[in-house]
């Protein structure tokens, strides 16, 4: 079906069935060019409203704030926001149930599990009412991509066949092509590119490592797929050489995004490629120093999700670093900007056969986030692999560690030996643990 006809059919269907998403989308478009001072006042008011909700209806925040000397009446002052103590991944791991707002049922939330780029697995709950679809419509619009356009995606495929069928029906006539990032083979990439040539999606989006590997595969074929309008990448720092490789392979500009399992869609690049615009009407993104006050340069990222009122994350420490950018963006958006986020690393294993496992490795403990405090996958120069774990309970045997080891061995599929090593700590690299540490050259096996 021609692109124009697909867009028209999707728009007609969306007008009938997606009224709430469309209203949120229009509101976001207005927020893109809103007067910054007006947006900042409303943002601060919404943040303190969320803090009051958290005090009144969660066990964790009431105790967390009281321990810091904060009283309930202090939360009536919008200027008190930066005095609120940050929330860490350790808090989530130890007090997860205490984050849930009283009266919330399973129907109100959607679970999201992650190992995170720091290798510290945890599970959070998203508010089912959060307008996630409108968020990606918004950012894709910055790139010239229509909500009804076909998409090609490289991501972890965790949906059941029934869930996939329901999603196809929900987004028809849009087609969504998916390449599972956990097991990328030459045959799998070949079949994916063949589908791209048939469907001709304007957008390819996915993990940096996976998209880069596909770009290298395409370049080696000598017959590139039809040009794209855009390529969106996330989950790891995007290097200039990766950007150049991807743009050359797909004849399209590459756009960086800042997303996470805990807080989806925080920021994204526009066509000016002058930093990442923060979705400041939906999130408060702070860059802070060691005392959790605004940093004058590069600092730690704290994020508040203003649209999660079921499992609040207020001044949540992401484990990433960046800096605010001053001045107006030439694209015309008035949203604040940050520099490219530092600290995230791509997760790729390579083998002598040429096969790769890319993406999904950070989710090794998604089904048992409390089994380990940290973990790291170390691929040595001889291709062998060590799964290094700090157990959730020190000195205690946990069969779930062996289960995770077997899952990793299943992904490796006999390409290299895999062993488990229990350790007391995992060293940090520039303040952050790398999930995948590889001694292989970047060029491959």
Overall average pLDDT of the 322-345 stretch: 89
Residue 431 pLDDT more than 50? no
Overall average pLDDT of the 364-389 stretch: 88
Residue 432 pLDDT more than 60? no
Percent of the chain as helix, strand, coil, to the nearest 5:
35, 25, 40
Q: What is the per-residue pLDDT across 250-284, written as a single tens digit (0 to 9) for each?
A: 999 999 999 998 999 999 999 999 999 999 999 99
Q: Which helix (H) or strand (E) holds 132?
A: helix 132-142
Identify the three-state secondary structure at position 80. Answer: helix
For 41-172, strand residue ranges (E) read 109-114, 122-127, 151-155
C-alpha distances out from residue 343 to 22, 275, 430, Å: 35, 16, 8
Residue 240 pLDDT more than 70? yes
Overall average pLDDT of the 178-190 stretch: 86
Overall average pLDDT of the 85-90 stretch: 95
Q: What is the pLDDT of residue 320?
A: 87
Q: What is the pLDDT of residue 122?
A: 83
C-alpha distances out from residue 257 to 168, 183, 192, 340, 359, Å: 25, 23, 23, 9, 16
Q: What is the per-residue pLDDT across 213-230, written as a single tens digit (0 to 9) for each?
A: 899 899 988 888 888 999
Residue 443: pLDDT band (50, 70, 90) is very low
Q: What is the pLDDT of residue 444?
A: 39
What is the average pLDDT score of the chain? 90
Contact 387, 419 (CB under 8 A): yes
What CA–CA distance (Å, rounded) separates 225 from 428?
A: 40
Q: What is the pLDDT of residue 121?
A: 72
Overall average pLDDT of the 59-73 stretch: 98
Q: What is the per-residue pLDDT across 342-359, written as a single tens digit (0 to 9) for each?
A: 755 446 789 999 888 865
What CA–CA distance (Å, rounded) separates 87 from 303?
A: 10
Contact 437, 379 (CB under 8 A): yes
Residue 128: pLDDT band (50, 70, 90) is very high
What CA–CA distance (Å, rounded) separates 316 from 85?
A: 9
Q: What is the pLDDT of residue 308?
A: 98
Q: What is the pLDDT of residue 430?
A: 40
Contact 205, 228 (CB under 8 A): no
Overall average pLDDT of the 320-325 stretch: 92
Domains in the chain with CATH codes:
348-438 (3.30.300)
Beta bridge mates, 113: 123
Which of 356, 119, 346 is CA-nearest to residue 242? 346
Cβ contacts of residue 332 below 8 Å, gap of 6+? 33
């Amino acid at each position: 079906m021609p692109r124009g006809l697909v867009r028209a059919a999707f728009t007609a269907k969306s007008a009938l069935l997606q009224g709430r998403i469309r209203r949120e989308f229009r509101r976001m478009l207005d927020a893109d060019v809103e007067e910054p001072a007006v947006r900042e006042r409303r943002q601060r008011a919404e943040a303190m409203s969320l803090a009051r909700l958290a005090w009144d209806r969660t066990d964790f925040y009431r105790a967390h704030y009281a321990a810091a000397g904060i009283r309930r009446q202090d939360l009536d002052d919008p200027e008190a926001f930066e005095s609120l103590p940050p929330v860490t991944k350790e808090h989530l791991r130890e007090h997860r149930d205490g984050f849930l707002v009283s009266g919330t049922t399973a129907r109100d939330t959607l679970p999201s599990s992650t190992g995170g780029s720091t290798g510290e697995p945890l599970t959070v709950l998203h508010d089912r009412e959060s307008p996630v679809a409108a968020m990606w419509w918004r950012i894709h619009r910055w790139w010239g991509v229509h909500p009804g356009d076909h998409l090609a995606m490289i991501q972890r495929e965790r949906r059941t066949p029934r869930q996939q069928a329901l999603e196809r029906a929900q987004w028809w006539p849009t087609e969504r092509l998916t390449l599972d990032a956990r097991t990328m083979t030459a045959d799998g990439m070949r079949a994916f590119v063949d589908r791209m040539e048939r469907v001709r999606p304007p957008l390819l989006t996915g993990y940096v490592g996976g998209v880069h590997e596909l770009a290298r595969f395409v370049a080696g074929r000598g017959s590139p797929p039809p040009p794209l309008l855009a390529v969106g990448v996330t989950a790891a720092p995007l290097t200039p050489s990766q950007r150049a490789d991807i743009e050359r392979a797909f004849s399209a500009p590459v756009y960086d995004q800042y997303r996470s399992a805990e807080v989806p869609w925080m920021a994204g690049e526009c066509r000016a490629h002058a930093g990442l615009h923060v979705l400041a009407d939906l999130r408060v993104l702070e860059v802070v120093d060691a005392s959790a006050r605004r940093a004058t340069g590069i600092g730690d990222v704290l994020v508040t999700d203003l649209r999660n009122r079921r499992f609040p994350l207020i001044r949540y420490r992401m484990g990433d670093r960046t800096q605010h950018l001053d001045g107006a963006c030439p694209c015309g958006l008035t949203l604040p900007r940050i520099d490219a986020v530092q600290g995230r690393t791509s997760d790729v294993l390579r083998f002598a056969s040429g096969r790769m496992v890319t993406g999904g490795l950070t989710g090794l403990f998604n089904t048992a986030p409390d089994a380990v405090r940290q973990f790291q996958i170390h691929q040595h120069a001889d291709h062998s692999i060590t799964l290094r774990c700090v157990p959730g309970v020190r000195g205690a045997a946990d069969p779930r560690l062996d289960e995770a080891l077997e899952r990793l061995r299943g992904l490796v599929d006999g390409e290299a030996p895999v062993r488990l090593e229990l350790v007391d700590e995992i060293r940090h690299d520039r303040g952050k643990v790398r999930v995948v540490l590889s001694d292989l050259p970047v060029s491959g096996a």
